[in-house]
Amino acid sequence: MSTTARSQDLFARAQRVTPGGVNSPVRAFQAVGGTPRFIHSAKGAILTDVDGNEYVDMIGSWGPMILGHAHPQVLDAVQRAAARGFSFGTPGENEVVLAEEIVARVAPVEQVRLVNSGTEATMSAIRLARGFTGRSKIVKFAGCYHGHVDALLAAAGSGLATFALPDSPGVTGAESGDTIVVDYNDQDALRAVFAEHGPQIAAVITEACPGNMGIVPPLDGFTQLIRRLTREAGALMISDEVMTGFRVSDTGWYGYESARDGYPDGPADLFTFGKVMGGGFPAAAFGGRADVMGHLAPAGPVYQAGTLSGNPVATAAGIETLRLTRETDVYTHLEAAADRLRPEISAALSAAGVAHTIQSAGSMFSVFFTRGTDGRVRNYEDARGQDSAAYSAFFTSMLESGVHLPPSAFEVWFLSLAHTPEVLDRVVEALPKAARAAAAAQGSAASATADRGGLA
C-alpha cells in the first residue's frame, strides 16, 4: 500500500494548532475513519497528495471545480487579474460583469450583491427578508444546510411545528427561537406552520434541490407549495442555489426545474449562489427581486458590507468559469458522466448485496447506503437511516484504490469536465472491491464517530 506518512505528519501538526486539525469539519474524516489526505496539487480530475499518491477527485472542492482543477483558461484569467492588483476596496469592472452574468442567466434575479461565502449569502438574504417584511420568523427544512448561520443552525424540537432548538453550543435560544424547522417534502407540516404562524413569517429558506443530506429532490408540488404559501402569507421565498447554481444547468436548479415542471405560482423572491460562481475562489452572491434588493444599503436601510466582497481575482475566476460552462457545453458532459457512473455503482453494490439508493439532481448524485422508504429517500430521517459502517468501508477501499469520494455518506459525488471516460474507468474499476468491503462491514457498529450529515 502507498505511504501516507507526510499526510499523517501534517495532520498531527495541524491538530496542535487547529481544532481537530482542519478548517471545516467534514475534512477530518471523522465519519469514515483514517487520516485525511493533505493535497499538494490538483490538475483536471486528479488530486495529488503530499506523499505523491494520486486520486480521482469526486469532491471537486464540494462543487466549484466544475471545469476540473487549474483549468488553463481560468488560471490565465486569475493570473492576469492578480497582476493588476489583489483588492482595491473601491469598485471594479469585474464586479459588474459577474453580476450581469448572473442576472442574465437567472431570470427572476434582477439585482445581486456579491459576498465571500455561501454562509454570508444566506445570512444576508435572511436579514434582508426580515428587514423587507418587518417580520422575524424564518422557516427552514431539516437536513437542508445553508452554511453556519446562527439562526439556521437549528434543529427541530419534538412534535409538529415546534420552534427550533440550537443545533450547536454557542447558538442561543434567541437566535434559533425565531426559526421553525419542518421536515422536507412534508406538505401537511408546512401548511400547519403557515396556518399557525403565517403573519409572522419573514421567509422560507430552502435548498433549491437539497444536496447536503445527500440529494433529496423536491417531491411533486413541494417547491410550488412553498411558493404559494409564502405568497399568500406575504412572506418571501429564498431559494438557496449555492450548490445547484450553475451546476445542474446554466441557470441552476431554477432553470432545470422550471423547464421541466414550470412554476405556476412564480419563482422564488431571493436566491443565493456560491461554489461554481467563484470558480474555486471565495465569491458568492444573493439576489432577486429589485424591489426587495433595493432595501439593501446603501440603496436602502438593511445593512450589509464586506472588505473583500467582489474581489477582483475571485470575480475573474468566476467570470471565466461561467463563460466556459457555456463554451464547453459542460452540462451535457456531466450528465453523460453521471449516466455512466450511476448504473455501475448500483450494479456493484447490488452484486455485493449492499442496500442503497441513488438519487440525482441533474448530474449531481449521491449514493445513500439505505433503501430509504420504499426505495426513496424523501427527507433527513430517511437519509439518517444509512449504514455508516458500510459507507466507511466503501470509502476507505475506494481511497486505497485511488478514488477520493466525499468523506461522508451525506454528500454529493461531484463530477467535472475533466472526468473523461478514461478517468471514469478508474472509478468503475475500483467499485466491486469497495462494494464487497461495504458488504462485509454492513450492520457492524460504526467505528467512526457519529456523522452529523450535512454539517460540512
Ligand X SMILES: *Cc1c(COP(=O)(O)O)cnc(C)c1O
Active site residue 145: yes
Quote the least distance from Cβ 366 to ligand X, whole Å.
Answer: 12
Contact 358, 347 (CB under 8 A): no
Q: How many CB atoms lie within 10 A of CB 165?
A: 16
Is 147 an interacting residue with respect to ligand X (CB under 6 A)?
Answer: yes
Q: Which is nearer to ligand X, 140 or 146 (CB)?
A: 146
For residue 298, cis peptide bond before it (omega within 30 degrees of 0) = yes
Quote the least distance from Cβ 138 to ligand X, whole Å.
Answer: 14
Comparing CA positions, the residue from 269, 42, 238, 225 lying closest to residue 144 is 238
Pick from 21, 60, 118, 255: which binds ligand X (CB under 6 A)?
Answer: 118
Active site residue 240: yes
* Binding window for ligand X (CB under 6 A); candidates: 80-88, 115-123, 224-232, 299-307: 115-123
Pick from 190, 204, 243, 427: which binds ligand X (CB under 6 A)?
Answer: 243
Q: Indicate the SS3 state at residue 111.
A: strand
Pick from 183, 186, 240, 269: which binds ligand X (CB under 6 A)?
Answer: 240
x/- binding map, residues 209-238, to ligand X, per CB under 6 A? ---x--------------------------
Is 406 an interacting residue with respect to ligand X (CB under 6 A)?
Answer: no
Beta strands 201-207; 165-166: pairing state? unpaired
**Rounded distance between C-alpha atoms, residue 79 and residue 83, angstroms:** 6
Contact 274, 284 (CB under 8 A): yes
Q: Which of 275, 331, 387, 451 is catalytic?
A: 275
**Rounded distance between C-alpha atoms, residue 105 and residue 103, angstroms:** 6
In degrees, rounded to 5, the angle at the alpha carbon of residue 74 between the alpha carbons of residues 37 and 207 is: 65
Quote the least distance from Cβ 324 to ligand X, whole Å.
Answer: 21
Q: Which is nearer to ligand X, 334 or 446 (CB)?
A: 334
Q: Which of 183, 240, 382, 387 is catalytic?
A: 240
Q: How many CB atoms lie within 10 A of CB 253?
A: 27
Is 133 an interacting residue with respect to ligand X (CB under 6 A)?
Answer: no
Quote the least distance from Cβ 23 to ligand X, whole Å.
Answer: 11
**Rounded distance between C-alpha atoms, residue 372 and residue 376, angstroms:** 5
Is 274 an interacting residue with respect to ligand X (CB under 6 A)?
Answer: yes
Is 396 an interacting residue with respect to ligand X (CB under 6 A)?
Answer: no
Q: Which helix (H) or strand (E) holds 343?
A: helix 330-352
Is 167 an interacting residue with respect to ligand X (CB under 6 A)?
Answer: no
Q: Which is nearer to ligand X, 240 or 387 (CB)?
A: 240
* Binding window for ligand X (CB under 6 A); candidates: 84-92, 101-109, 239-247, 348-356: 239-247
Q: Which of 55, 145, 184, 380 is catalytic?
A: 145
Q: Which is nearer to ligand X, 47 or 361 (CB)?
A: 361
Backbone angles phi, psi at 26, to 5 degrees: -60, -25
Q: Which is nearer to ligand X, 349 or 414 (CB)?
A: 414
Quote the least distance from Cβ 121 to ligand X, whole Å.
Answer: 7
- In one-letter notation, the amino acid at residue 26 is V
| Distances 255 to 15, 228, 241, 262, 286 between C-alpha atoms, Å | 43, 19, 11, 9, 17
Question: Which residue, chain included where needed, has cell 443545533?
Answer: 167
Pick from 209, 242, 352, 434: which binds ligand X (CB under 6 A)?
Answer: 242
DSSP string, 217-254: PPPTTHHHHHHHHHHHHT-EEEEE-TTTTTTSSTTHHH
Beta strands 357-361; 364-368: pairing state? antiparallel
* Binding window for ligand X (CB under 6 A); candidates: 1-9, 77-85, 114-122, 248-256: 114-122
Grid cell for residue 371: 433503501
Is 207 an interacting residue with respect to ligand X (CB under 6 A)?
Answer: yes
Quote the least distance from Cβ 15 to ligand X, whole Å.
Answer: 22
Pick from 69, 130, 146, 247: which binds ligand X (CB under 6 A)?
Answer: 146
Pick from 119, 176, 321, 325: which binds ligand X (CB under 6 A)?
Answer: 119
Is 363 an interacting residue with respect to ligand X (CB under 6 A)?
Answer: no
Pick from 29, 38, 55, 145: which binds ligand X (CB under 6 A)?
Answer: 145
* Binding window for ligand X (CB under 6 A); candidates: 46-54, 145-153, 250-258, 289-297: 145-153
Contacts within 8 Å (CB) and 24+ apart, 153-157: 154/179, 154/181, 155/181, 156/181, 156/182, 156/183, 157/181
Would you give the end-to-end CA distance of the chain in angstroms? 29
Active site residue 275: yes
Contact 152, 166 (CB under 8 A): no
Q: Which class for 274: exposed (0-12), middle (13-18), buried (19 or more C-beta within 10 A)? A: buried
* Binding window for ligand X (CB under 6 A); candidates: 2-10, 124-132, 140-148, 388-396: 140-148
Q: Which residue is nearest to ligand X (CB)?
A: 118
Number of residues that bind ligand X (CB under 6 A): 14
Grid cell for residue 370: 439505505
Grid cell for residue 437: 468491503
Applying CB under 6 A, the residues found at the interface with ligand X are: 117-119, 122, 145-147, 207, 212, 240, 242-243, 274, 284
Catalytic residues: 145, 240, 275
